[in-house]
Amino acid sequence: MITKKEYASRRSGLINMMEPNSIAIVASAPVRVRSKDTFYPYKQDTTFSYLSGFPEPQSVLVLIPSRSQGQFVIFCQEKDQMREIWDGFLYGPSGACDHFEADDAFPITDIDDILPGMLEGKDRVYYGIGKDTEFDNRLMGWVNEIRARRRRGAIPPGEFIDIDHFVNEMRLIKTSVELKIMKNAAAITASAHRRAMRVVRPGMYEYQLQAEIEHEFLYQGATCPAYTTIVGGGKNSCVLHYIKNQDLLVDGDLVLVDAGCEYYNYCADITRTFPVNGRFTRPQASIYEVVLEAQAEAIKSIAPGKPYNTANNVTIKTITQGLVDLGILSGDVDDLIGRGSYRDFYMHQSGHWLGMDVHDVGDYRLDQIWRDYEAGMVVTVEPGIYIAPDNLSVEEKWRGISVRIEDNVVLTRDGCEHLNENVPKCRVEIEKLMI
């Protein structure tokens, strides 16, 4: 769990990057309607959560460097005994101070009276425009109120600066505490994948396998899935973001499982592909070995100081060579890569940042140049080969075979290391577990 000390350090880090006479404003995520009068489970805005840990909707976080009454302010819902009977506990302004170390806190109902005064006279506002149109409009309404009083000496903010540019860079480098949480998320996810391998059988429905995975998540203490679980059997595995999970798992098919849990606001993201009946066919094994080699080579290529796209370039080369060796592609490997011939079979990047969001924040390029890896970054490594069932350019034995293997790695000073362990990916180990 993130400590109060670490939250305070994050806020101090951001405040130190802010220009003098400025203010930072972060709104909580809105509550999302599921249908009529029911709602999706609430998920706090990750920037808000990163800076405070405060979990409630209808809240606003404000940072004001050098404010005499305290730099960290929260607006939030008031305590309401009757409402809490229906909807659960609320911290209220006093709880925001006592439990989250806000220097000052006010009822959210008073924000129209108080926040414009905090904005007035500031040179710059740090704010993430475009996330919440309703709050964007509300903020601009306060600014326009100040502008309307210019003749009476009011001074409106002169510049808006994207707060996410600064916070995202902070989030990109994980602390030791964050990495410990992410290792726990990965361990729970690994356990769920092992469970899936042990229980899968022909005649089971995809959603039943999904239920086994998500049962393990919750039983082990995860909050929820980090994203919609993908369980794609047979031809469904060829759909990269398949989430219907409604079909039967068929004897002789592979099943691709892309699943990760969320644990204390941090995500894991692991993919395994394995045979429904516990035994790979020769064509399935051949494709699987190419993907496995591509992942191994990609992971070996990841180290501080190397450009982010290194792993993807290695992945493309290994996969293209493997497809040539199998007779699925023909020609010179470099020429095939130059023409993009591999894209019919491998159409995504080799990975992405991982953290509080499953596709986590942080720029991949700086000044149009691929940024270098740095110690503390966490990235997925997920090569794949996807051969559509209607791809008539390949022999019939290859059609409908799709394989993706995904692990989570953290950059160290010397290279990288796995966050997730004990999830079989060697074919022999998979088949042994599935006996």
Catalytic residue among 178, 262, 269, 357: 269
Do 161 and 188 sit in the same domain of this protein?
no
Do 93 and 48 sit in the same domain of this protein?
yes
- pLDDT value for 435: 84
- 165 catalytically annotated: no
Structural domain of 113:
4-170
Do 160 and 294 sit in the same domain of this protein?
no
- For the segment 374-390, what is each residue's pLDDT rounded down to a tens digit? 999 999 999 999 999 99
Do 220 and 253 sit in the same domain of this protein?
yes
Do 81 and 210 sit in the same domain of this protein?
no
- 251 catalytically annotated: no
Tell me which H or E stretch contains 404: strand 402-404
- 242 catalytically annotated: no
Q: Which of 110, 141, 170 is the last residue of a domain?
A: 170
Q: Which residues contact 79 (CB under 8 A, 6 or more apart)?
A: 90, 91, 92, 94, 95
Residue 63 has pLDDT above 90, yes or no: yes
Q: What is the mean pLDDT of the chain?
A: 96
- 352 catalytically annotated: yes
Domain count, the chain: 2
Residue 119 has pLDDT above 90, yes or no: yes
Do 132 and 188 sit in the same domain of this protein?
no
Catalytic residue among 352, 360, 373, 407: 352
Check: CB of residue 197 under 8 Å from CB of residue 272. Answer: yes
- 258 catalytically annotated: yes
Long-range contacts of 311-315 (CB under 8 A, 24+ apart): 311/350, 311/351, 311/379, 311/381, 312/349, 312/350, 312/351, 314/350, 315/346, 315/350, 315/383
Q: Which residues contact 389 (CB under 8 A, 6 or more apart)?
A: 235, 238, 399, 400
Do 146 and 185 sit in the same domain of this protein?
no
Residue 421 has pLDDT above 90, yes or no: no
Catalytic residue among 45, 164, 178, 406: 406
Do 9 and 107 sit in the same domain of this protein?
yes
Do 155 and 213 sit in the same domain of this protein?
no
Do 239 and 163 sit in the same domain of this protein?
no
Residue in 297, 328, 331 with CA at minimum distance from that of residue 313 = 297
Q: Which of 170, 198, 231 is the last residue of a domain?
A: 170
Catalytic residue among 164, 206, 258, 262: 258
- For the segment 305-356, what is each residue's pLDDT rounded down to a tens digit? 999 999 999 999 999 999 999 999 999 999 999 999 999 999 999 999 999 9
What's the rounded Cα separation, in Å, for the pair 65 and 139?
Answer: 19
Average pLDDT of 391-414? 96
The torsion region of residue 322 among left (phi > 0), alpha (psi -120 to 50) and beta comes to alpha
- 386 catalytically annotated: yes
- Put simply, whether the predicted model's pTM sits higher than 0.75 gets the answer yes
Catalytic residue among 45, 178, 382, 407: 382
Average pLDDT of 126-149? 94
Catalytic residue among 84, 359, 374, 417: 359
The tokens describing 25, both together, are: 């404003």
- 136 catalytically annotated: no
CATH number of the domain that 196 lies in?
A: 3.90.230.10
Catalytic residue among 11, 171, 272, 404: 404
Handedness of CA 9, 132, 163, 158 (dihedral sign): negative
What's the rounded Cα separation, in Å, for the pair 309 and 320?
Answer: 16
CATH number of the domain that 137 lies in?
A: 3.40.350.10
Average pLDDT of 217-245? 97
- 406 catalytically annotated: yes
Q: Which of 111, 142, 170 is the last residue of a domain?
A: 170
Do 166 and 196 sit in the same domain of this protein?
no
Average pLDDT of 20-43? 95
Do 326 and 180 sit in the same domain of this protein?
yes
In the block, tokens 């995504």 appear at 348
The string of DSSP letters for 21-90 reads: SEEEEEEPPPP-EEETTEEPPP---HHHHHHH----SS-EEEE-TT-TT-SEEEEEPPP-HHHHHHH---
The tokens describing 164, both together, are: 């996410």
- For the segment 241-285, what is each residue's pLDDT rounded down to a tens digit? 999 999 999 999 999 999 999 999 999 999 999 999 999 999 999
